[in-house]
Amino acid sequence: MSGQKDRVFSTRRYPCEECPLRPLPLFREFETQELAFISKFKKGELAAAKGATVLVEGSHSAHLFTVLSGWGFRYKLLSDGRRQILNYVMPGDLIGLQGSIMGEMQHSIEALSDMLLCMFQRDELPELYQRHPELAYDITWLASREERMLDENLLSIGRRSALERAAYLIAFIADRAVGVGLNGKKPIEIPITQQHVADTLGLSLVHTNKTIRKLVERKLIVWKDGCEVTDAKGLRQLAGWEGLGEGKRPLI
């Protein structure tokens, strides 16, 4: 289900000044000075292969990361192996902050596809707070955003039916994905298995399969090596969800 190995550290820099993400309309403009600091803050890049564990629960990783490309997911395990996926991570997301701020990681992160990550040094975070209050504010902003997403997910798992839950999940991921330009072609393709969906929704694999089948019958999605979203509006409608309508956001 996961591999610890497959990690490749590359010191070769993807210079922040030529960041492929930053030009996207989703992200706010940054001062040259801020950019310079971030560039200095960045210690290198980490390539994680599909299936690799990027961060492990219980560890005290010295790093935190911003996703440059690829997909991943955050999860927790119960002692008997039951798994709950907490959220998905995609380009622009800051990961490992919890561990950096509070010490120990309380969740794991696994790569859903090959990923490229910007690496930052945990112990330089205080310096960032000292010297760049706006960036500090941005980090809090990102933490609040994660909290907001978790609130939504909790609402969904707690109070929506299986079908609504599935529709919400896919609509939610699709919405985020288009924001960061992950839809190369028209329909967004989400590289997940039905086991991931089950572990996200808190359902069994069998029932998840039957639920997804209903979404396919309704022509809201196509399932083919992952999920292709064909009718995002229909999904939102089924879930009774407005969409996340985010404005500009920071990118560390």
Partner DNA sequence: CGCGGTTTTGAGAATCCTCAAAACCAGTGG
Partner DNA sequence: CCACTGGTTTTGAGGATTCTCAAAACCGCG
Residues binding a copy of itself (CB under 8 A): 74, 76, 78-80, 82-84, 86, 97-98, 101-102, 106-107, 125-126, 129-130, 133-134, 136-137, 139-141, 143-148, 150-155, 157-160, 199-202, 240
Residue ranges in the chain assigned as alpha helix (H): 32-41, 97-102, 125-131, 133-159, 162-179, 194-201, 205-217, 232-239
Letter for the amino acid at 114? Answer: D
Residue 28 is classified by DSSP as P
**Cβ 161 to DNA shortest distance, Å:** 5
**Cβ 211 to DNA shortest distance, Å:** 7
**Cβ 93 to DNA shortest distance, Å:** 22
**Cβ 114 to DNA shortest distance, Å:** 14
Nearer to DNA, 136 or 163 (CB): 163
- The tokens for 207 are 């029932």
Question: Does residue 204 belong to the site contacting DNA (CB under 7 A)?
Answer: yes
Measured CA to CA in angstroms, residue 246 lies from 9, 24, 207, 209 at distances of 33, 13, 32, 31
The answer to whether residues 98 and 107 touch, using CB atoms and an 8 Å cutoff, is yes
**Cβ 184 to a copy of itself shortest distance, Å:** 29
Distance CA 209, CA 203 (A): 10
Nearer to DNA, 98 or 209 (CB): 209
Q: If contact means CB under 5 to 8 A according to the sort of partner, which of a copy of itself, DNA, none does residue 183 touch?
A: none
Sheet holding 221-223, edge to edge: 189-190, 227-229, 221-223
In the window 116-175, what residues touch DNA (CB under 7 A)?
A: 161-163
Q: Which residues bind DNA (CB under 7 A)?
A: 161-163, 193-195, 202-213, 223, 226
